[in-house]
A and B are shown apart, each in its own frame.
Chain A
């Protein structure tokens, strides 16, 4: 391939466009149901059977559409798109489309019972709540699709490697590969839960299931899935945002190090979601607490590296001082503003996450409104607002037209930031005051008078978030139908001050890190999973109680 080929290579826009379109439709459904949740909590009466059949039906739709579908479909479009661009190598055309249709088939299959209120089991679907088989099979097909993306990435990377035997893997491609490799390992838990417990049970092939075994397999995947959502945002923060800010990536080797650590450490720590579960030894819970704090380390590396990169941009634009440079970032660029604001709220999400992970403090917050407060800072902002920022360049490029209005986009991202701060702060405080999560609090007998002003703030924050989302969709829609100016070029990858050549060569090896990841999983999960698998009898029948 000629040197020129690298610069002129353009990845296939149609495949990425297909994935992103589905993800945006899901996000729209998710924000509509989210509005219903927030208004209900604030005491606004939503007439029965208005769009949804109950608070919990709406909540299940909200969780599945936003946390599972919006994220996964966006990532399966964006990750390979960026990797293909970084490697200047096309993805496997047939495999890419086969992946899309497998995931679509899964999505439709899962959506039928979900929309019909037959799978009102939340996005965590803890048995013995029992959904129809189509829900479980559909979600499993979506996971199978993500494995096909991994395969596509590996094949594409190998084709690139064949012509570049000595080059370092470009950072964006390296990070996409790490993200999907991590996810493929981590999703084994969910796959086992589906294949060995939920699917046979929902098909009537076995008569019972077990809550603890299912939860343990679920959380094997359930914590790393947040890194699967988050790492693609990090990829943008590391490889594109520094240049969007007018600067350079501070350190490529440190960026690679943090991603390798995410590959190794993301999975063996799921018990921190099960601290309050009976049936798991406290000793193993403490081991998982330690490993959870270990994964804080690559997050701190990311915080430093991304901030230093932003600072290089702001200083190149004339920024001065220790803190004042922050104001010199190109705040007029909605894509950059969205992602920097996402980072700011994510700082609070990270601190809250440490509290959740703290073995003993967790007792104060587990399953309270604090948890959705946390999740909306992480998935709802760090991930979602970053993805929105990415779509502000990606969607115009995909449809070949400039963004309809940058000012509207700026208003939208600031509104999201402010509304989410209100919404999430209120949920955190409600949690500390004793309000449980996933509960129609306004109708609960234990509703406290002191909760009511905060529930009103949840309603106001949620309504403002909905307005922000409407502005977002309006802008994208008008870009598609009303924008006349041609789309700007794709943002170029950031150069690094300390480049890939400074990284130890071992960071470009796969086998030692994959082996280390598997060893840690076997140590952290092996004894408990073997004990549960050997001693559990599947005695719980299914319940449909909604």
Chain B
């Protein structure tokens, strides 16, 4: 079979250009989309939440009293510590429609705080205070999962959030 003629250098240059321009436009378009959705929808990544001595967590406010505090109607703050292989508190009850701000840290190794249904996803590093928020509109039980390998019983490290229907 006779091979088809091969393109010459100037045709190649045109093909290159025809590909390069959309190759710039596609990532730029994606970036615009993600910037608009991130800031338009108010999705925040964890930022700088402050340092803490990981060996003195139990003596350092607010982690000297872990638990749930109501800060305003429908708003709660959870002060949480993670250590092998448990969260404290490990069970949280709030009414549906609540907004929870988590302030959390680790007392030992790196842990994670992951609540699949609420898309809450933050690392808990010893030495750093993590600060993240999520809304719980749908009643039900949400798993609180440690999603960073933290030792031999890592898979047992979990808690739950029970979102109760509004009366």
Interface residues of A (CB under 8 A from B): 54, 56, 59, 120, 122, 126, 128-129, 210-212, 215, 248, 250-251, 254, 274-282, 285-286, 289-290, 293-294, 296-297, 300-301, 304, 308, 312, 315-316, 318, 354, 358-364, 366-368, 433-434, 436-441, 443-446, 497-498, 502, 535-537, 539-541, 543, 545-546
Contact = CB atoms under 8 A, between A and B. Distances in A.
Given A211-B110, A278-B131, A436-B114, A497 B6 contact: yes
Interface of B: 1, 3-4, 6-7, 9, 12-13, 15-16, 19-20, 23-24, 26-28, 30-31, 34-35, 37-38, 41, 43-49, 51, 53-55, 84, 106, 108-110, 112, 114, 116-117, 119-131, 143, 145-152, 154-156, 158
| Chain B residues touching A, majority SS | mixed
A38 to B, nearest CB: 16
Nearest to B152: A546
Given A126-B110, A436-B112, A539-B54, A498 B9 contact: yes
B123 A277 contact: yes
A443 B15 CA distance: 54
Nearest to A446: B143
A289 B35 CA distance: 10
Given A354-B30, A446-B145, A539-B55, A254 B45 contact: no
Contact of A278 (B35, B128, B149, B150): B128
A367 B121 contact: yes
Contacts of A440: 154-155
Contacts of A535: 51
A301 B6 contact: no
Contacts of A436: 112, 114, 145-147
A211 B107 CA distance: 12
B130 to A, nearest CB: 4
A314 to B, nearest CB: 10
A54 B27 contact: no
Q: Which 10 A-B pairs have the closest CB atoms?
A: A434-B116, A545-B151, A436-B147, A300-B23, A278-B130, A446-B143, A367-B147, A360-B38, A211-B125, A293-B27
A316 to B, nearest CB: 5
B88 to A, nearest CB: 16
Nearest to B143: A446
Contacts of A364: 119, 121
A359 B45 contact: yes
A128 B108 contact: yes
Contacts of A248: 6
Q: Which interface residue of B31, B38, B112, B125 has the most chain A CB atoms within 10 A? A: B125
A540 B127 contact: yes
Contacts of B26: 296, 300
A301 B30 contact: no
B152 A545 contact: yes
B155 A441 contact: yes
A250 B125 contact: no
A275 B147 CA distance: 15
Given A275-B45, A360-B38, A443-B155, 11 more contacts: A59-B149, A120-B152, A211-B127, A296-B27, A297-B23, A300-B26, A315-B4, A363-B43, A368-B147, A436-B146, A546-B152
